[in-house]
């Protein structure tokens, strides 16, 4: 395999890894998993107060909905200005 082909293969592998990491980061599976872990931890730490646990989990879920909007604003105003 030529040096150029090897470099392209390495770049394609990196791109695939970055894309899969991003897909995981925004997936519902990840959000639900974090919500369940947050719920269990809050139940243990708050000694079974379900209402406060639900507030913590809903707060997390709401924050994940706002992140794409905030990220877009950040990219448009800050990141693009640096490049």
Q: What is the pLDDT of residues 10-66, one digit of tens each?
A: 999 999 999 998 888 888 888 888 888 888 887 887 776 777 778 878 888 888 877
The three-point CA angle 73-77-80 to 5° equals 115
The tally of domains found in the chain comes to 1
List the domain range (segments joined by +) for residue 75: 3-82
This prediction has a pTM of 0.61
d(CA 25, CA 19): 10
Structure tokens at 79: 């990141």
């Amino acid at each position: 395999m030529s040096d150029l082909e090897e470099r392209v293969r390495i770049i394609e592998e990196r791109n695939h890894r970055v894309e899969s990491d991003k897909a995981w980061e925004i997936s519902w599976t990840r959000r639900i998993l974090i919500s369940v872990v947050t719920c269990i931890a809050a139940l243990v730490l708050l000694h079974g107060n379900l209402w406060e646990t639900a507030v913590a989990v809903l707060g997390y879920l709401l924050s994940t909905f706002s992140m794409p909007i905030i990220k877009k604003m950040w990219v448009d105003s800050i990141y693009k200005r640096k490049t």
